[in-house]
Amino acid sequence: MQEEPEKTIDWYYQKISQNKLMTQDEINSYFKEFENLKRKILEILKKEYKGKISFENHGAIDYKELKSILKEFYKTSNKQVKSVKNLERKADEIKNTLTNSNLRLVFKVVNLLRKEFDTSKYSLEDAVQEGTIGLMRAIDKYDYRRGYKFSTYAYWWIMQSITRGYAEYDGVIRLPIHFREKIKKFRAVVHKGVCDLSELEKEFGIGKKSLEHMLIYFNPMILYLDTPLDKDSEDSKKILDMIPNNKDSPYLELYEKEFKTRISQILKTLDQREEFIIKMRFGIDVDRKTLREVGEMLGLSRERIRQIEKKSIKKLKRKAKQHLRDFR
């Protein structure tokens, strides 16, 4: 039997609450070792790629970027692969230790933001998962030498990751993050009582077309095609039933396809010149040509083309009685 989401979250929180909390000094010592391991790996990579790899020496090395380079490095037969893997393993252990000791911070941010979420679309498990991804990204990029607390730095990464994750789930229409932020600001301005389009243009510094585009998503009314027109009636037609279908039926499409195939087969019974003249005169797969135009193409007189055409039509009529019997 599957556990209820709330119970699962409670169990997970109880489990991570057993992890040891670190002081800022302890966190810094871990990050100092983490940074040293990253730099040792980087030095080996620089020798392998002859200085083509560039990282900012004055700042922390982005561990995520470093690992992406390692994937390519491990494909080589370099003698240093074993030692680099050993360094990477130690760095991963430190990252896991830092992640586990700060998971309670993820729960703190989730609890602060949970009122803003529609939990039917974005569960607490999803929020915790996205927050943990944000925490790990903060660990990848944190520079302990700058003096600010890790919890302050990680807080913003966790919040951003959770917010972006919610944007993936929220609504049927998926919008870019920056556009959602604009709509959020737009709502706040409208709620203040600013509704005049010219005032809104000045407030946002955008043109009329961009503003109209934003208005579409301000409070969209989304209708599903299978929504019944009369919700009180079981036999009610659906919205889909009221949308006109301008396409031909599949049966008609199949009929026309088969008819064209038969016509093509009949034309093949003519010799090459006769087939060419018929196609030119009746515009089959080409624009229609006059007797004179076809004559000029074949180096024949207008009258001779007319005679060949008449003769070919008689042949086609005899064949059509046999091959097009099903299309009468």
Say if residue 211's pLDDT is above 80. Answer: no
State phi, psi for 228 to the nearest 5 degrees: -70, 145
236: left (phi over 0), alpha (psi -120 to 50) or beta: beta
Q: What is the pLDDT of residues 140-194, one digit of tens each?
A: 999 999 888 999 999 999 998 888 887 666 555 566 666 667 767 776 776 666 6
How much is the pLDDT for 48? 76
Say if residue 3's pLDDT is above 60. Answer: no
How much is the pLDDT for 7? 65
Domain boundaries, the chain: 5-169, 173-243, 250-327
Percent of the chain with pLDDT over 90: 21
Mean pLDDT of the chain: 79
**Which tokens is 221 given?**
């009314």
Question: Is residue 307 very low, low, confident or very high in pLDDT (cuts 50, 70, 90)?
Answer: very high
Buried-exposed string 16-26: b where 16+ CB fall within 10 A, e elsewhere: eeeeeebeeee
How much is the pLDDT for 158? 93
Distances (CA, A) of 272 to 231, 264, 267, 282, 298: 65, 13, 9, 16, 12
Nearest to 38 by CA among 142, 170, 151: 142
CATH 3.40.718.10 is the classification of domain 250-327: no
DSSP 257-276: HHHHHHHHHHHTTS-HHHHH
As a whole number of angstroms, the distance between CA 155 and CA 150 comes to: 8
| Domain at 5-169: CATH code | 1.20.120.1810
Distances (CA, A) of 229 to 93, 219, 243, 259: 59, 22, 12, 40
Radius of gyration of the chain from Cα atoms?
Answer: 36
Question: Residues 214-219: what's their mean pLDDT?
Answer: 60
Q: What is the pLDDT of residues 100-150, one digit of tens each?
A: 999 999 988 888 877 777 666 677 888 888 999 999 999 999 999 988 899
Say what the pTM is: 0.54
